[in-house]
Structure 1
Amino acid sequence: MLVTTIVIVGGGLAGAKAAEALRAQDFDGEVILFGAEERLPYERPPLSKEFLAGKKTLPDFTVHDGDWYRDNRIDVRPGTDIDDLDVSEKSVRLPDGSTVAYDKLLLATGSRSRRLDLPGADADGVHYLRTIDDAQRLSDAITDTTRVAIVGGGWIGLEVAASARERGAEVTVAEFAPQPLLGALGPEVAEVFADLHRDHGVDLRTGVEVAEIITEGGAARGLRLAGGDTVDADVVLIAAGAVPNLELAEAAGLATADGGVLVGAGLQSSDPDVFAVGDIANAEHPLLHTRVRTEHWANALNQPAVAVTNMLGGSEEYSNLPYFFTDQFDLGMEYTGLSTGYEQVVFRGDVAGREFVVFWLDGDAHVLAGMQVNIWDQLEGIKELITARATVDTARLANPDVTLAELIS
């Protein structure tokens, strides 16, 4: 089939990288990029890191400027929410009721902040963090005299806590689980992040439930915990995770499960002319032999090129291992792999000094995932251990004098 028009629904990093890949792969047809925000596509990780810390501004992490879209003949339409996707007619409906036809369509709709049904959640001074406008409002509210209360000890919550503390704010984090990042890292490594934040003056309260956002005169003034304790605050951030934007896919009848659009390793959905990438893609992974859906920057960056190849008639698979990173206080880390179902954790290096590598292993001593902390030359070796599926000697794995390559040979 001759492909002359490709529509991209989603104005974030994934949408921009798809447009870029189409021109890089010599597609000469019409490319239309719809984004819900009144902004050109930008990257989101800096919102809770460098932007909030005052180290970067929006142009620093905008993917391409307006001239690039013009020069590459990308019809980019910010501020345009797609109301309906009709896969039988191969068209999308715009807010004004008009429709745009496509030959191939890429869904890159991302996710949104999870809202909590708490008394006081709609008060002034209650923040969420998903967009640049959210980040600007939050940044404007934080000074060196501000008391910040954060509901949720996940990645966003902890990154904001670090940025706010570095700006001199007083910070309390209320986390329902026994440790922050427990679901992502397990208790052994979650403890490292708990210690990090407490060492930097964050009042980290774990195993607590927030019952109410205290208000006064319509403005947030703190938290009331289920046990009756209160936390005074001028600013409240709810960082309770994300919800994938699946409404368009579900209404169109595309196959979905476990929070994502079901796609193969080539990122094609149940409709052969519709592909999905980024937060919403629940993709078959050819190396891990399971479905993987992660809400991390690396998928938005790298999946679109594979989807574009296949939209244009190719047969490529997305085989990158899951990857994410964070920077909090003096800790920088990179993680790769998938630790689901791990049975053992092995550290190598100086854990107390926060300069180490950690591995998650299954019951047969296969490395499932690894993370380098304040060390920057081990990531490729970690990836090789994961993909080799070699049974490793855990004593040698813990020994920094043994190279990772030696563990495979």
Structure 2
Amino acid sequence: MTSADNVNQGWNTLYDYDNGNIYVHLKNNDLLRLNFSLAGFENNDVNTLNLKNNQQIETLPSPPDKSTLFLLQGKLYALTTLESKTERDLCGDGIISIVEFSGNKWSTITGLNYDNIKDASFYRFPTIFTNPSYNNTIYFYGGLCEQSNSISNRLLSFEMDTNKFSTILTSTKPQAFYGAGNLLAPTPQSQLVIGGQSSSGWLNMYQLATWDFSAGWSFEQVKSNSNDTMVNSRKFPLVLPLFQPIANESSIQDNFKLDQVLLIGGESGGQQAATPAFAKLALDSNQWYWNSSIETNQIDYSDISGAATIFNTLVVVNSSSTNNKRDNQYHINLFDTNTFQPVKSLKENVQALQSTKSSPKSSSSSSDSSSFQKKVVLGTVFPVVFISIAIGIAAFFMIKRRRRKEEESQYNDIDYKFGYLQQQSIL
């Protein structure tokens, strides 16, 4: 186990919905794996999937330091750094390297092709976008150059089959940022970005960005509830999905949809703990809103080293030595995500959910998805013959955008509105 504390500020939890694996990357760089099934415990092996309060979980080999993990085609990878004297290392912290977790060990992917990019620098805490439907392409945005303390606005793509990096140019760019949390939401076709720090301040928690592989960037304003505590801006938040079991696991792309996102922790200015420590983001198709009126007295946030959510159950990995932490093992604690009271087992809590559920909420995913997609700002990759059409449409949106510019001025700390994308060699 890693002895140093907080060596992994960018703690994260990754979900492989197709294969039923959850990877929990702890604050001290340790790594755990949990098993689950989107169908819950219907016709599944209870002994394999059930978790019990205070159960021991063994660790997996830790990734290299300063890594950011991501999943592609059901495989676990880490974006990390490789020492190099190449002139493409503009930052000075090394160049981009990718390692794969296979056979219970981490192995470097060789033969990476940097020919199409001028800046191959490693920037720490980037935002990595993957999509189950695009099982060969990864996007990397932003990150921090620790050598100069500068923040990058670089957007790269990486093709896994050719090992080739490309610079992605856009008609407009967001401010450079690092340390954001992201996850597949509200559907498996898009990535939701929450939190992060830019060179001029913090990313707005009440205007959130989504990245869609086919439509580019869009944004969603989040309603502020006057009765709730303000959800303050932060970097390094842990963002976890809250979702319902679905009967047909083969229809994930069509029927899976998140109900809410659970926000845990993060840092504000001066490495202070951001407040509130817990909040829920409701992903209603008509209006997103934060709920920060959550009673979590049973959970000590300062002692959380990592966490995951499985349906209505929060799985907490504590860092305290009083939690009987041993070499290569952690004990977990289970809580209900509605009451945040302790529960005895995952199975009991999920079955209570399934017994009271009259119909799966995922059945409305089609209409919800349609409503959400109407808010997407033009960002599709266009063939050249459609550029003139795109310009006309863009002009329409620009006129419409001007009319509501004054109304939305409070949300313009960061501009997420992207135009069409294109790949370009800049050498």
Pairwise same-fold verdict (TM > 0.5)? no
Relative contact order (C-alpha < 8 Å, sep 6+): which is higher?
2
Task: Give the alignment's TM-score, normalised by structure 2.
Answer: 0.23
Q: Which one has a larger percent strand, Structure 1 or Structure 2?
A: 2
Q: Which one has a larger percent helix, Structure 1 or Structure 2?
A: 1
